Amino acid sequence: LPKLRGRRSLCATPLPSPPPPPAYAEMLLMSAEALRSGISAAAPWSAPGAFDKHSLSALASEIERLPMKALPMVKAFAPSNAADAWARDGAHIAWSCLGEDCGRVHAPGTTVLDAVTENAAPLAARLSDSRDGSAATAAIGEWVRTLADTTGRPVLDADAYLTPPRGVSASLGWHVDDVDVLLVMLRGEKRFRVAGSRLGSPTTIDLTMRTGDAIYIPALNFHTGGGDDLSDLARNNHSVLLSVAHRPLPAAAAAAA
């Protein structure tokens, strides 16, 4: 905060607003060409330090401050879910809400960070949706649009996954998605494992993601996030992960990328 001079009244001096999150271009450390090529690849990949960790902290803070009532969709995962289980074996949602109803799940003024702490299990919050062009904040909308322009891959939607401290870190366990996904760690740590597209295929990525790290997972590749082997940082602090979904490329286009 700026230093106060003389006898200026604290009450008469409004606190400055938090600085806006840095622009996307200031966050990207890997080359735009490498990201553009990688996000169209047919195989999963990881890129530790792909984004500037200090810049991402501001984006994480903006997400954490979002009021529940401002979000189009929120899903809270059940505390009984486990990272090593298969999603079909009972992983489930503790509760979910849409639009205005998200403001009624908790007390008025509850933020996303408040909600994940109370739930003691991961929470997914929809940040942007291409179907109606909505975005939780202008900065998030601009970040997503710039990512799409940089990669040439339109973004279907973007979600934030928040994991509480001293709670369950798994969301769905091993599962596949029908979209291509780019994961970017905004704050904290979370383990991610990625395998192939066939049941029982070996794990090809086993990475404890830290702020700035990225993982790309093409559609229908098995993956799971979370685990019990937490570091002290992960055990005592929450984490924020950005998950960006893209419509799958045709197989021929992905193979040629």
Q: Taking residues 6-32, report their average pLDDT.
A: 51
Strand 134-135 versus strand 189-195 pairing type = unpaired
Q: Which residue is it, tokens 């109370």? A: 118
Amino acid 2: pLDDT: 37
> What is the pTM (predicted TM-score) of this model?
0.84
Write the DSSP assignment of 97-148 as a string of letters: EEGGGHHHHS-TT-BHHHHHHHHTS-EEEEEEETTTTEESSHHHHHHHHHHH
pLDDT of 22 strictly over 70: no
pLDDT at 6 over 50: no
pLDDT digits 0-9 by tens, 89-144: 555 788 888 878 887 778 878 899 999 888 878 899 999 998 888 888 888 888 88
Q: Look at 141-145, 177-181, 213-217 and tell me which has the smallest mean pLDDT.
A: 141-145
The average pLDDT across 204-222 equals 94
**Amino acid (1-letter code) at residue 49:** G
- Other CB atoms closer than 10 Å to residue 120's CB: what's the count? 14
Ranked by mean pLDDT, the top range of 100-109, 124-133, 153-162, 245-254 is 153-162
CA distances, 81 to each of 119, 124, 150, 177, 182 (Å): 13, 14, 36, 18, 23
